[in-house]
Structure 1
């Protein structure tokens, strides 16, 4: 996976994510809220989406639901990166179809490990 869409409303967090991912060789696209994120996902068809949950205009759950309903975007892996830390929230996100759930704050290494795991699983499923 090379092209990653980062959907994060906090500019500083978004900038750190983009910088960290680009340092690891990923091409990044970013969006400042869920509505813009959905549009960019449909336009650019990224290989992976990293998405916050608590955002204005359209929250992360809405982003995931919208992406899963569109034939072009329904199979794009999505990792939630969020401050929502309860088990109920994590189960809900995974039940909606998230491929991984990483809680903030997290290290770059933890996020990269989640990305690697999702990429590994996604590649295995595509080859079946």
Structure 2
């Protein structure tokens, strides 16, 4: 799936350039920070789909960033792949204990890293519908707090809008008929017109602003979220 946003937190300029070039060639949207303080702030503000995190960083080290992000309801489901020049087993163990999802030791083959990234992103999407927090391209739905974020900014959704967006994001690329959405969100005993879904979708698109195009109309079927 193209378009996922990856944040690189790494203090080696040459490695940042190599990673950025290769990730962009795979259609990922890439941002980078060269120190721990700015990296942590960027992760919390932009809510990337995956973070490549160096262990040894100026300001705040990678382990502390990992611990901080994994202890927050909003950021805990962002996959973190740690990069380090150290190969001792204890460092890898501590990284996983802090919540890292995968671990690559420098020097590494870029092709291998790309495979790891694709695997983490796939696992992240597959597991989201089993959790209280659903995250997709900067949109965060927090069912525990019933709160919605768009690039870190709170947007106010009605309960129906929230459930509609949840249903769509939980299954990227899947086309839902209006009836299916109505049934899954409102229940099969609810007496409403199928076109009521169109009204809610229009409201959702308006509230999502520049991400409105993520909700696609499937002619003759209904709606889906971009895959």
Q: TM-score, normalised by structure 1?
A: 0.94
- Alpha-carbon separation, structure 1, partners of 2:42 and 2:36: 10
Aligned-partner Cα distance in 2 for 1:15–1:72: 29
Alignment partner of 1:118 is 2:138: no
Runs of 5+ unmatched residues, structure 1: none
> Aligned equivalents of 1:104 and 1:86: distance in 2?
12
Gaps of 5+ in 2: 131-227
Say which of 46, 49, 53 aligns to 1:47.
Answer: 49
Alpha-carbon distance, 1:127 to partner: 3.2
- Runs of 4+ aligned structure 1 residues displaced above 6 Å come to none
Find the counterpart in structure 1 of residue 58 from structure 2.
Answer: 56
1:86-114 Cα shifts (integer Å, max 9, x gaps): 11111110111100001111111110111
Q: Distance in 1 between matches of 2:81 and 2:9?
A: 10
Which of residues 11, 14, 28 is equivalent to 1:12? 14
Aligned positions, number:
128
In the alignment, is the contact (CA less than 8 A) between 2:9 and 2:33 conserved in 1? yes
Question: More helix by proportion, 1 or 2?
Answer: 1
1:1-128 alignment runs, 5 A limit: 2-128=4-130
Describe the SS at the equivalent of 1:41.
helix
TM-superposed CA distance for 1:69, in Å, is 2.2
Match in the other structure for 2:210:
none
Distance 1:48 1:4 in 2: 5
